[in-house]
Structure 1
């Protein structure tokens, strides 16, 4: 009677409260009580059972079942460039701060002179190119995120279109920064 009141089994006429008709076989299964036994085990035995159950679980395919998308790469690259640019800025700022605090005499003139004398031409182009393209990409992708914050270009087509626009902007702006 209690299950009938909850709507778990049908009324004597075979209908649930929601109006769904339930067969006699279904009422028999729903109304049947299942016997379960409790077995006392030690903590060690419970852990062994748990480990055995985990061994039999299927491995989730995770990212291997998905086709890589432009948004994944741009999101990862945005984070990486942000960390690298932020770390470089933090390191230079800390160097100037420590130099000022301890009177080491580091200033922009000495840094410029050291850079011109000690850094080879190939390393100069590598450092400038890396910084230029990372800054151009991070700036462009930041604008893209601000565009999304306004609720625009949130469809798959819009996301791909803005991703390609960021890559084009990065190519042109990074190259112009490199030769500036």
Structure 2
């Protein structure tokens, strides 16, 4: 800041003789275009509050029409967190199982899940299938965008709804028929 100020003063002193012929060389011309006055802190806060009332309000998401890209982007992140979080939790539990005396090997898990009621099995499969298929299909959509394909508004909307439709169809298929 100080170096900038010194530079500005040097420029003003160098240009001062050229600006007016009436001023002797080396004298600095200083013009104050705005009147200033000292105000107290409380009075300054009042002035600032009045200025804030006059400022324009920036637009918020609530004034825009929702689009499939918003929902797909949010769901893509949420499903990624759900899937990776579940994987990390199971991985940590699997590593801690011998110390804690848990049986997380495949035969034990298959036996435990086989004892569940049908509604619990279907719910668990849906809870895993929907995030998995949506994240996978929307991830393919994002990969095509990385290649530079499908950036037209119509294509983006079509691929968004296609990802949702294929997610529902594939998740229901693998939940009930596979």
- TM-score scaled by length of structure 2: 0.71
1:177 aligns with 2:140: no
Aligned: 1:140 with 2:137: yes
Counterpart residue number, 2:161 = 164
Alpha-carbon distance between aligned partners in 2 of 1:156 and 1:103, rounded to the nearest angstrom: 54
- Structure 1 residues 61-83: Cα deviation after superposition (integer angstroms, max 9, x where no partner): 31233211111111111111111
5+ residue gaps, structure 1, are 1-32
Which of 59, 62, 68 lines up with 1:64 in the alignment? 62
CA distance in 1, matches of 2:130, 2:167: 6
Q: Which residue in the other structure is 2:103 paired with?
A: 106
Aligned length: 147
Which of these residues, 86, 89, 106, is aligned with residue 88 of structure 1? 86
Task: Name the counterpart of 1:27.
Answer: none
Aligned to 2:14: none
Partner Cα separation in structure 2 for residue 141 and residue 43 of structure 1: 54
Q: What is the CA–CA distance in structure 1 between the aligned matches of 2:42 and 2:101, rounded to whole Å?
A: 62
Q: Return the structure number with greater relative CO, CA threshold 8 A, min gap 6.
A: 2
* Residue 34 of structure 1, CA deviation: 7.8
3-state SS of paired residue (1:99): helix
1:26-46 deviation line (CA, Å, top 9, x unaligned): xxxxxxx88421111234433
1:123 CA displacement: 2.2
In the aligned structure 1, how far is the partner of 2:53 from the partner of 2:92? 50
Structure 2: gaps of 5 or more residues: 1-30
List structure 1 segments (4+ residues) > 4 angstroms apart after TM superposition.
none
Partner of 1:123: 120
Mapped to 2, the partners of 1:61 and 1:156 lie a distance apart of 22
Provide the rounded CA distance (Å) in 2 between the counterparts of 1:42 and 1:83.
Answer: 51
The two structures have a TM-score, normalised by structure 1, of 0.70
